Structure 1
Amino acid sequence: MKKITIFISLVVFSILFATGCSSADIEKIDVYEMESFSIIKEDSLTSYTDSKDVNIFIKVFNNAKKEPGIVDIADPEYQVQIGEESYYLWIKEEQGTIMNVNDTHTIYSLSKNSVEKVYDLLN
């Protein structure tokens, strides 16, 4: 019984620690306009430091839905830096897709509500 209690306590602590650090430590989101997968447009950096804006990006990217299959996609419109992670972003008024820079075989789609929030921030 004692082992189970310790195990459950460790699991709960780990979950609380991971979720607490995921957004609390991030104070800035950097967004670059892209020319291609490997070329960032010159002087295109926009930094978001307002905590409301930062939290919007974090929530939207955390709630993106993984899409099945192998990806073959056009050059990204943006590169978004969230803490240590970097993502490519394709976004239009009604559709959005992200891809982790370190996993270019998987895409994630954004909900319509998420697209509206990010699109408004970028425009």
Structure 2
Amino acid sequence: MRKLFLGLIMGVLFMSGCSAGASMEDEKVSVYEMKSFAEIRKNSLITFTDTKVETTFAEAFHSAERVPGIVDMADPDYRVEFGDEAYFLWMSEEHGTIMNTNDTHTIYTLSKSSVKMIYELLNQ
């Protein structure tokens, strides 16, 4: 499973590097605040179009550590979409956890440095 996750992230990074002629639409990161797993907060969309931000998210998610076992999580704080992937994100100033929306039984913990970078982006 970890190999699949890493492969997906590497694919996003590869496509980002190969899209020099593509529009900025292809390089955006969309972040929605969530009410529940199924409901997005109205007017909560934050869109980042800077490729550095996409790289920050991709690297943070790529380096996240898988938590063993099947999980039962509280409602997520955010939904993050970039490339063809979407993730649920639980975020505080000190901790970050992600879950691929296609695999809701597995979570990954973000590194402390990734938490700091993403927290700062989301709280600008």
Partner of 2:14: 21
Change (3 A) 1:68 1:117: same
Question: How do 1:75-86 and structure 2 match up within 5 A?
Answer: 75-86=75-86
Name the structure 2 match of 1:58: 58
Q: Distance between the aligned counterparts of 2:80 and 2:13, measured in 1?
A: 21
Report the secondary structure of 1:87's partner residue: strand
Correspondences of 1:37-48 after superposition (within 5 Å): 37-48=37-48
SS in 2 for 1:105: coil
Query: Which letter does structure 1 place at the counterpart of 2:36?
Result: S
Partner SS state of residue 88, structure 2: strand
Amino-acid identity (%)? 52
Deviation per CA, 1:19-61, whole angstroms, max 9, x where unpaired? 8624424511000000000000111111111121111111111
Q: What corresponds to 1:3 in structure 2?
A: none
Flag the 1:84–1:92 CA change in 2: closer, same or farther, 3 A.
Answer: same
| Residue of structure 2 in register with 1:70 after alignment | 70
Instruction: Note the residue ranges of structure 1 that are not aligned, 5 or more in a row.
Output: 1-16
Within the alignment, does 1:34 sit opposite 2:27 as a pair? no
Q: Are the counterparts in 1 of residues 98 and 109 from structure 2 also a CA contact under 8 Å?
A: yes
> Cα deviation per residue 1:44-89 (whole Å; 9 max; x = unaligned)?
1111111211111111111111110110110000000011010000
TM-score of the aligned structures, taking structure 2 as reference length? 0.81
TM-score (normalised: structure 1): 0.81
Matched-pair contact (CA < 8 Å) for 1:27–1:54: yes
Task: Select the structure of larger CA radius of gyration.
Answer: 1
> How many residue pairs get matched?
107
Q: Report 1:73-112 matches (<5 A).
A: 73-112=73-112
